[in-house]
């Protein structure tokens, strides 16, 4: 059953990236995120690595639809790192999404969280 959840998680994570590409066509950053995501998800141990990202705080931020907590903006963003630059870029994209698309992203994140909790 765990393998079923892993496969659904992979499909839904890639679907999220594809939907973002539809909203931001020809965007190099989003395309790169998808490419990196596909590589990450192809690792058979990706679920173990997810433990680094999924935390009780992240779960709460998804359930509360709190972008600042989700991206960690309640923390100090220095030193400048690749991850912090990505967070700033993601917030820029978020600000350009319609309410309908924002709701869709939160629904994906909620689904991914539920799948993760079942793996």
Q: What is the pLDDT of residues 23-61, one digit of tens each?
A: 999 889 889 989 999 999 999 888 888 888 888 888 999
Total count of residues recorded for the chain: 119
pLDDT level of residue 11 (50, 70, 90 thresholds): very high
pTM of structure: 0.83
HSE-up of residue 85 (Cα within 13 Å, Cβ side): 5
Percent of the chain beyond pLDDT 70? 88
Helix, strand, coil % over all residues of the chain, rounded to 5: 75, 0, 25
CA angle, 81 then 84 then 104, to 5°? 150
Q: Which residue has the higher pLDDT, 88 or 73?
A: 88
Q: Which residue has the higher pLDDT, 13 or 86?
A: 13
């Amino acid at each position: 059953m765990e393998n079923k959840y892993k496969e659904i998680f992979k499909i839904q994570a890639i679907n999220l990236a594809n939907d973002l590409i539809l909203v931001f066509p020809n965007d190099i950053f989003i395309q790169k995120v998808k490419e990196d995501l596909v590589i990450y998800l192809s690792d058979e141990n990706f679920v173990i690595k997810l433990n680094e990202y999924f935390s009780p705080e992240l779960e709460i931020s998804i359930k509360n639809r709190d972008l600042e907590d989700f991206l960690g903006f309640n923390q100090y963003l220095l030193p400048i790192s690749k991850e912090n630059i990505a967070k700033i870029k993601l917030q820029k994209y978020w600000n350009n999404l319609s309410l309908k698309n924002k709701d869709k992203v939160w629904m994906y994140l909620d689904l991914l969280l539920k799948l993760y909790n079942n793996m």
